[in-house]
Structure formats: C-alpha cells, structure tokens
Structure 1
Amino acid sequence: MFDHVKFGVRDYPVSKAFYLKALAPIGVAVIGERHAPPEYGVEMSAPGESSLCLYQTTEKPAHLHLAFVAENREQVDAFYRAALEAGGKDNGAPGLRPQYHANYYAAFVFDPDGHNVELVCHKPGA
C-alpha cells in the first residue's frame, strides 16, 4: 500500500544507526542518502519493499507506531535483540499477542525519539 514513510528525527546519525541495526534481520539497508536539502536524509528498504525515510529536524517529532512485517518468528527475535543493542528501549519482548489473532507474534521497542517500533510475524511457528 505504501511506497515510503518519511519522518523527522532529533538525532539523525543515532536514529539512522538504530534503524539499520534493528531492521537488519529483515534485510533493510540504505538505498539512498543526501544531505542537501537537509530534509531529504536517508532512504532505507529491504529489496522490493516499501521504504523508510528519515531526516534531521529541530522539531520534536510526534510519536509514531511503525510496524514491519517479518517472514518468521526468528526474525522477530533477532529484531528485538538488535534493536536493544542499538539503543532501543523495551516495549514488549517477543511473544504471541493472541488478543490480535492466534498467530500474532511480535516484539516492540521504543526508538531514540520514543517511536513505538514493532516487528510482527502473522504465520504459525515451526
């Protein structure tokens, strides 16, 4: 549905490093980056997927909930570990969330700006 999502961050290098490490388990990498004009920033994506774009802002960003799709539960576990190592704050360890549906397996972290970042797998476990 989306081609890309773009939002401002308070500390561009910190947020860029956080998202690259946290989303590495699902193949996200930089596909473009420019600093002029400053609101362009960085575009990150997994091959053939929608893009996540970040740029430096002096405004305090409104909090978002960003949910990314995982192919399997192991990616959710790896995302959670990588996000915490990258400076994210725990907002829900990997596990089933049956209140959404029987196979909703997700993990949640807060990014450096306080955005709620989720990786979710909708498939049954192995």
Structure 2
Amino acid sequence: MIDHSGISVAHIGKAIAFYDQALTALGFSMLAEVPKEYTDGKRVVGYGAQRPQFWLSEGETQKPPVHFAFSASNRAAVDAFYEAALKAGGSDNGAPGPRPHYHENYYGAFVLDPEGNNIEAVCHKAETE
C-alpha cells in the first residue's frame, strides 16, 4: 500500500551513519541522494534494496517521533539489525524476540534511532522457515 516514506532529521550526518549500519543488516543501503538544488540546500537521501523507499531529509527533528518497521528476511536478520543499530548509536526499545500478541510468527526488535524514532525490524516467518 505505501510506496515510500521518510522522516526529517536535525542531525543528518548522525542519522546517515546510524541508518547505513542498521539497514545494511537487513539488505538495504543508501541508493540515492537528491541534488541540493532541488532541496533548498539540504541533504535528502533514500534507502532501499531495488529503489529508494525510506527517505531521510535534513530539517527539524521529527515531531512527534514516528515508528517504522522494516521487513527482515529471517529472524537472524532481525538479530543482526538490533546489534548493528545499537553499535551505531541506537538505544534499546525491545530486544529481539517473539511477539505472539501480534500474531504467532511475529519476531521483532525495536531500537530508538539517535533522534528518538522507534525503528523496528520484523520477520513474519515461522522459526523453521
């Protein structure tokens, strides 16, 4: 349903460093940077696998903070995201594990990015898949 989305960040360099590490664990990377002549001189970068789907825009810190859940191909990728995000300056907001209150195969991890947004990696597959 949603084609792409993004957030505004006050500290674009810090945000890029965080998302470069955290999203690499899920197979995503920075794929685009919009030329500054189209962005009033501010940095705008896009992350994804095939095309940019998550954008960071230099500006004011997102208020209120938002929640984004990124798809993980398996549970090990959720674990890798969590570890990478913490090493990149994120804060724990829910260690990797099952969340059966969402559904029986929900496995996720939650981290607050450097600006307080709730960033999640989630796998919807059974443990044996």
- Which contiguous aligned blocks of 4+ residues in structure 1 show a shift greater than 4 angstroms? none
- Please give the TM-score of this superposition, normalised by the length of structure 1: 0.91
Cα deviation for residue 46 of structure 1 reads 1.3
Comparing 33-42 and 95-104, the one that deviates more: 33-42
Distance 1:125 1:104 in 2: 10
- Stretches of structure 2 that go unaligned for 5 or more consecutive residues are none
Q: Distance in 2 between matches of 1:89 and 1:19?
A: 13
Secondary structure, counterpart of 1:13 in structure 2: helix
Identical aligned residues as a percent: 46
Structure 1 counterpart of 2:93: 91
Number of aligned residue pairs: 124
Structure 1 residues without counterparts, runs of 5 or longer: none
The one-letter code sitting in structure 1 at the alignment partner of 2:76 is E
Please report the TM-score for the alignment, with normalisation by the length of structure 2: 0.89
Deviations 1:8-39 (CA, angstroms, capped at 9, x unpaired): 10100110111111011221111111351235
Q: Is the 8 A contact 1:76 1:121 kept in 2?
A: yes
RMSD of aligned Cα (Å): 1.5
The corresponding residue for 2:121 is: 119
1:46 maps onto 2:46 in alignment: no
Tell whether the 8 Å contact from 1:26 to 1:46 is kept in structure 2 after alignment: no
